[in-house]
Structure 1
């Protein structure tokens, strides 16, 4: 099968998200004039090591985007399997000013390096300063780039000095309504690394 996106795919559901899978989930915490906000984004990833930088890509002018524009900061917490229902609850469309931390019963803590909330008991959290917000092609597509200014790691997620995604069952997004859990990892050495 081949199709051009502008011509349509002819399938019951768009396969685009299912092709780009699994995707890590950024549980984005922000604070704005209307209060605190927490929302998941699966168009998320790391984009640079030094300095460490990440991106998430909201569709639409949601609270996360507005708050990041307003304050210049955001946090990204990882999502563990045990928090899947709370994460899903925070993905709903709620009126501005709704505190999704409270709505979903998610423990909240203040970040250390930025004036922003984070998921208190997340396996890991990245405290980020906005580097740039780009408007992408299409209707209401944005890319938020941030530099990591602080990193929280939950002690039980460190195994033999390594952050271990299997220790907490890292949650990932697939296509359609699909999710997956990291339960197994394997190591490969790049050529020349010995």
Structure 2
């Protein structure tokens, strides 16, 4: 047996909770941006993924008009920092609805690191930072999808094996439903079978 949900018959917030509890786990874009007046903002966004590899484009969604979206629209730049497990509490702190003139870097006790090609700073404690220039935005009701072209990537050497990031060293966090967060857990590895080899398995 299944229970059916029609989006037209469910209150928006209730349907949001249904979506976020079942579309899991979701990676976190820990986005740093700078306002037109120079205030550095930092916030986690869990509607996040890769939009394109060539050219490299990342996307995240702002649910509502938050400081991150306003800053990106005003300046055209942002940084996506990887959200690692050991910074769990600080990442959660940066989700607080601070006023626009308050910097989450300062409130959460995080260190700014100068970016190479954009103005917003990187999070020094994060092992990976994608510096982005705004490509475009697409609106869906109260949400806005932000597309950013990656212009520079900085990766901590201690999470690399050669040039390859090692997942067990990155230890990324993920968002689940409600106030739930996920950690890496078990990692399974299996090669994809080519069609030419399908009957040889």
User: What TM-score, normalized to structure 2?
Assistant: 0.89
Alpha-carbon offset, residue 183 of structure 1: 3.6
Question: Any idea what SS the aligned residue of 1:29 has?
Answer: strand
In the TM superposition, what is the alpha-carbon distance from 1:188 to its structure 2 partner?
2.2
Structure with greater helix percent? 2
CA contact (8 A) 1:45 1:55 kept: yes
CA–CA distance in structure 2, aligned partners of residues 114 and 6 of structure 1: 42
- Aligned position for 2:109: 105
1:150-189 matches, cutoff 5 A: 150-159=152-161, 161-189=163-191
Cα offset, 1:145, TM superposition: 0.3
Matched residue of 2:17: which SS? coil
Name the residue aligned to 1:56: 60
Query: Secondary structure, in 3 states, of the residue corresponding to 2:63?
Result: coil
CA RMSD, Structure 1 to Structure 2 (Å): 2.0
Q: Could you say which structure has the larger radius of gyration?
A: 2
Q: Is the Cα contact below 8 Å between 1:169 and 1:183 reproduced in 2?
A: no
**Alignment gaps of 5+ in structure 2:** none
Gaps (5+ residues) in structure 1?
none
**Does 2:111 match 1:146?**
no
Matches within 5 A, 1:24-103: 24-34=27-37, 35-103=39-107
**Could you list the per-position Cα deviations for residues 25-57 of structure 1 after superposition, in whole angstroms to 9, with x for gaps in the alignment?**
011000112311000000011111101111010
CA distance in 2, matches of 1:36, 1:160: 33
